[in-house]
Amino acid sequence: MPDEIIPITRPVFDEEEERAIPEVIRSGWLVQGPRVADFEDKFKTFLGVKHAIATTSCTTALHLALLAAGIGPSDEVLLPSFTFIATANAVEYTGAKPVFIDIDLATYNIDSEKILEYLDNQKAIYKRHAKCILPVSLFGLCANMESINRIASENGLIVIEDAACGFGAKRNGRFAGTEALAGCFSLHPRKAITTGEGGMVVTNDDHLADKVRKMRDHGGSKTDLERHLQNGGSMLPEYNMLGFNYRMTDLQGALGVAQMDKADMIIEGRRKAAARYDELLQGVAEITTPFVPESYTHAYQSYVCLYKADSSKLKDKADIHWSDVDVWNRERNRLMARLEKKGISVRQGTHAVHTLGYYKKKYGLNDYDYPMSYIADRLSITLPLYYGITKEEQLRVVNSLQELIKTR
Ligand SMILES: Cc1ncc(COP(=O)(O)O)c(C=O)c1O
């Protein structure tokens, strides 16, 4: 009999979620109503921020946050070249130009030194268009918001954080998503808590929050919930700005409420599972486990390892032997295919976005332009991780990995 499949992740649903959905159906209020408002309240309380505004996804959350911060055509937005394509797509939607910046291979996050290099070069060449830094707290590890915020304030830039994977992650005791002008979260099932699809913009800025709220609902001056709470709701809103339909449904809101009630437990469970992998993988020389800098608390949205490459020795193009990377990439791909065959779900971490057709062609980019991102794309492996993964399942993953590496 084939072994049972170990999925890459599993959502944590129980009777609470099962009860929540029929309640919404019975209530008759399906879109951006009381359950979405409850979810937003819980989310903002959890993170300790002034505003949490639910959207249909992190992609749309990013789109709204960028627009509300005034980003548009003729602006440049600096973002890591290793991230999910949606980070760059959200910039494209605004008409601004995404400018890729390479990552620090040890953390998989944007490299502050390389942001400075880009800004210094621009100063020397022509009038600057850089307006925003869009760091990503990738895989559940906060970006280095201290240095990013410093660079931003010294250069008059805005910071919007893509915290799609950052729910529950901390840096110096502060949550991912809370150290920028706005933070954007994803509630897709690959994330620690999920509403199916869904996103959230968080901010302490009243003006930005007001704009995001209106823009997610066609640009209307008030929401249906506000309208119905006032005078029976017969007077329709004013529309003074261009908006979108990025409203979350109450079915999702109800799931979100139930998920928030177990958020601490889920994050703790993921951390424990990650610690167990760290221990089990100690003796596997070919695998570098996720690095956690001092004063950072990883939330392990994904447990992403590096195959063969030693991130502590790779800082620059000059340190890289491309022929090794190509050989190791073929080995990594074969390893992943063989793990899948054994019922163990694995993935590469995410993409080097500059290597993807749309961006490559539009901006004339080459694969080796951002070498650390290229290596992360070609050599990363995400292992299965979820709340409730058992020790036996993790042992099976690590033993299979070891065995397949040996028989490569
Ligand atoms: C870094 C990053 N940004 C943005 C997104 C987009 O999130 P969503 O699927 O909620 O639009 C994702 C999704 O995986 C992501 O990983």
For 137-195, the pLDDT digits (tens) are 999 999 999 999 999 999 999 999 999 999 999 999 999 999 999 999 999 999 999 99
Residues 151 and 192 in one domain: yes
Does the pTM surpass 0.95? The reply is yes
Measured by CA distance, the residue closest to atom 8 of ligand 1 is 58
Centre of ligand 1 from the C-alpha of residue 187, in Å: 9
Q: Domain range spanning residue 315?
A: 264-406
Instruction: Tell me what the mean pLDDT of segment 351-356 comes to.
Output: 98
Residues 40 and 145 in one domain: yes
Class of residue 166 by CB neighbours under 10 A (exposed 0-12, middle 13-18, buried 19+)? buried
pLDDT above 80: residue 373: yes
The predicted-structure confidence for 33-74, as pLDDT tens digits, reads as follows 999 999 999 999 999 999 999 999 999 999 999 999 999 999
Cα(183) to centroid of ligand 1, in Å? 12
Nearest C-alpha neighbor of 164 from the set 176, 173, 172: 176
What pLDDT, on a 0 to 100 scale, did the predictor assign at position 226? 84
Question: Are 73 and 220 part of one and the same domain?
Answer: yes
pLDDT confidence band for 352 (50 / 70 / 90): very high
How many whole angstroms separate alpha carbon 133 and alpha carbon 120? 15
Does 7 map to a domain?
Answer: no
Residue 2 domain-assigned? no
Count up the domains in the chain and report the number: 2
User: Looking at ligand 1, which residue's alpha carbon is closest to its atom 16?
Assistant: 84
Tokens of 387: 């709340």
Domain with residue 94: its CATH number is 3.40.640.10
pLDDT over threshold 60, residue 1? no
What is the pLDDT, as a whole number, of residue 320?
Answer: 83
Which pLDDT does position 235 carry in this prediction?
A: 82
On whether the CB atoms of residues 199 and 57 are closer than 8 A, the answer is yes
Distance, CA of 256 to CA of 238 (rounded, Å): 30
Q: How confident is the model at residue 127 (pLDDT cuts 50, 70, 90)?
A: low
Identify whether 326 is part of a domain: yes
Around ligand 1, the residues with Cβ closer than 6 Å are: 57-59, 83-84, 86-87, 136, 138, 162, 164-165, 186, 188, 190, 199
Asked whether residue 10 is assigned to any structural domain, the reply reads: no
| pLDDT, position 223 | 85
386 pLDDT higher than 90: yes
Q: Are residues 93 and 138 in the same domain?
A: yes
32 & 174 share domain? yes
Residues 279, 252 within the same domain: no
- CATH assignment at residue 392: 3.90.1150.10
Same domain, 43 and 185: yes
Phi-psi region of 368 (alpha: psi -120 to 50; beta: other; left: phi over 0): alpha
Position 62 in a domain: yes
Q: Is the pLDDT of residue 288 over 60?
A: yes
Single out the residue of 59, 105, 48, 50 nearest to residue 82, CA to CA.
105
151 three-state secondary structure: helix
- The last residue of one of the domains, among 227, 261, 295, is 261
Assign 236 a pLDDT band (cuts: 50, 70, 90). Answer: confident
Same domain for 84 and 221, yes or no, is: yes
Q: Which residue has the higher pLDDT, 379 or 314?
A: 379
Atom number of ligand 1 nearest to Cα 301? 16
Q: Name the closest-CA residue to atom 7, ligand 1.
A: 58
Across the range 97-101, mean pLDDT stands at 98
- Whether 68 and 79 map to the same domain: the answer is yes
